[in-house]
Structure 1
Amino acid sequence: MASVPRTNGVQSPALGVGPSYRPEEEKPTATVSKSVPQENVHVLPQTPQLIALLTMIRDKDTQRADFIFYSNRIIRLLVEEGLNHLPVVAHTVTSPVGKDYVGVKFEGKICGVSIMRAGESMEQGLRECCRSVRIGKILIQRNEETSKPKLFYEKLPPDIHNRWVLLLDPMLATGGSAIMAVEVLKGKGVPEEHILFLNLIASPEGIENFAKKVPKVRVITAFVDQGLNEQNYIVPGLGDFGDRYFTL
């Protein structure tokens, strides 16, 4: 089995990745997401496709165009899974051959809220799944010395209190910015249980902190990483997501 780096003495899990019907000896060993005990956290299935996409965006030598392309594919997976957690009601339609089909439809309105600037990278993926969706923005920046978040700006739909909110931010490190964003939404009248937080990579520390402070918010993440280093950066992480997506 390949050796895996350690953070705070906790080893990331390494498993054979591939379809269940493949013999174990044919599956390459790869680092997969940690499991977490928090019931409000849903980690995407660690499929070969997802691990391959994450491998591409973690590579420091991946060029910006490829980083954007592969990140967008993961974002689409997150949005699709997030929509699975919204409430639905029974809905019957008639097919072109005159037969009834008993199905469902979404209940209530939704909107997206991106935590600027990295969260803005996830807006297009949401628009591709939800036509004409309204999107708000929150700007929270972290003090590099104290690692504490500070709110600088928010612009949200005036009826956001009547909507289900998909909160968008690709990285969850300490959880401070995401928690503050949830508090902003709650201050606008959004029930905590009406917020879904969509995230690419999280730290175990951030997940624990977030779940403790806002336990009714459901987290949809692609990967729970090894941990945080001394600078509170996610390890192994992928660097500064916003820089790699928008500028580098």
Structure 2
Amino acid sequence: MHIHNLSETPSILNTFISEIRDKTIQKDSMRFRRNIERIGEILGYELSKSLNFEAHKTETPLGTSETVLHKNDIVLCSILRAGVPLHNGLLNYFDAAENAFISAYRQHKHHPESFEIIVEYLACPSLENKTLILADPMLATGQSMVATFEALKPFGTPKEVHLISVIGAQKGVDYVAKEFNSSTHLWIAAIDKTINDKGYIIPGLGDAGDLAFGNKLQQ
């Protein structure tokens, strides 16, 4: 797997990462969502450099402009619900992309330290020979990303696969690197060292879905 860790090069991205981690700024859920969206835009821009391009001519009122435009057929797939702001950021840059959405969540059967990934809702166009961008803001164990990709397989075989995450744990990065083929790209804004016994990234930022949209109803 090709791993692109954007935090290795200092940039304005660091500001947005710092703010989504800050427990004081996190109290403003609208700002949290907007920062995730902006991180998605930056990750999407960096990803775009790896796409396939072809020559294109544009007629202006005064002449002809020549440039190169990407020619990939892109499908953006996000894991609900935390993935929505990240999806919006990617869609801001890949506005002609098709879209897919999937629900994947942890089900704790016996105790908080053990869980399985449950996939229920799924809406997806054909992926055959297309560029799949699979987005999940938090790459903790990597199980959600792998389970989602498995659920997408009936929709066709993508020509190429790009994974997008905001913050990951090294364990999750290692896991997806093992489970996905070597041609897959991972674009990530920051990688933390570890996860706790409940599967949350440390230092991470907490629960991205709750911070973006409010606490889940506890049953």
Q: Do the structures match in fold with TM over 0.5?
A: yes
Within-5 A mapping of 1:218-237? 218-237=185-204
Confirm whether residue 187 of structure 1 aligns to residue 154 of structure 2: yes
Question: What is the rounded CA distance, in whole Å, between the counterparts of 1:92 and 1:133 in structure 2?
Answer: 19
Larger mean Cα displacement after TM superposition, 222-231 or 43-52: 43-52
Report how far residue 155 of structure 1 moved: 0.9
Corresponding position of 1:83 = 48
Equivalent pairs counted in the alignment come to 206
Letter in 2 for 1:207: V
Q: Is the 8 A contact 2:78 2:84 kept in 1?
A: yes
Identity across matched positions, percent: 29
Confirm whether residue 53 of structure 1 aligns to residue 16 of structure 2: yes
Selected match of 1:150 from 94, 97, 118: 118
Question: What is the rounded CA distance, in whole Å, between the counterparts of 2:202 and 2:36 in structure 1?
Answer: 18
Q: Is the 8 A contact 1:175 1:206 kept in 2?
A: yes
Within-5 A mapping of 1:70-219? 70-89=35-54, 91-93=55-57, 96=60, 98=63, 101=66, 103-144=67-108, 145=111, 146-157=114-125, 159-191=126-158, 194-215=160-181, 216-219=183-186
Q: Is the 8 A contact 1:201 1:223 kept in 2?
A: yes
- Structure 1 segments of 4+ aligned residues over 4 angstroms from their partners: 94-100
- Under a length normalisation based on structure 1, what TM-score does the superposition of the two structures give? 0.76
Letter in 2 for 1:72: E
2:42 is paired with a residue whose SS is helix
Report how far residue 127 of structure 1 moved: 2.3
Corresponding position of 1:22 = none
Q: Is the 8 A contact 1:229 1:235 kept in 2?
A: yes
Q: Is the 8 A contact 2:164 2:186 kept in 1?
A: yes
Question: What is the rounded CA distance, in whole Å, between the counterparts of 1:100 and 1:156 in structure 2?
Answer: 36
Corresponding position of 1:28 = none
Question: What is the rounded CA distance, in whole Å, between the counterparts of 2:105 and 2:30 in structure 1?
Answer: 26
Report how far residue 237 of structure 1 moved: 0.3
Report how far residue 126 of structure 1 moved: 2.2
Letter in 2 for 1:66: R
Structure 2 unaligned regions, length at least 5: none
Q: Is the 8 A contact 2:138 2:208 kept in 1?
A: yes
Q: Is the 8 A contact 2:37 2:87 kept in 1?
A: no
Quote the RMSD (CA, aligned, Å): 2.0
Alignment CA distance shift 1:88-1:80 (3 Å): same
2:128 is paired with a residue whose SS is helix
Q: Is the 8 A contact 2:75 2:98 kept in 1?
A: yes
Q: Deviation per CA, 1:3-60, whole angstroms, max 9, x where unpaired?
A: xxxxxxxxxxxxxxxxxxxxxxxxxxxxxxxxxxxx5111115324222211111011
Greater C-alpha radius of gyration: 1
- Under a length normalisation based on structure 2, what TM-score does the superposition of the two structures give? 0.85
Structure 1 unaligned regions, length at least 5: 1-38
1:190 is paired with a residue whose SS is coil
Question: What is the rounded CA distance, in whole Å, between the counterparts of 2:40 and 2:72 in structure 1?
Answer: 23
Report how far residue 65 of structure 1 moved: 2.4
Report how far residue 163 of structure 1 moved: 2.1
Corresponding position of 2:5 = 43
1:220 is paired with a residue whose SS is strand
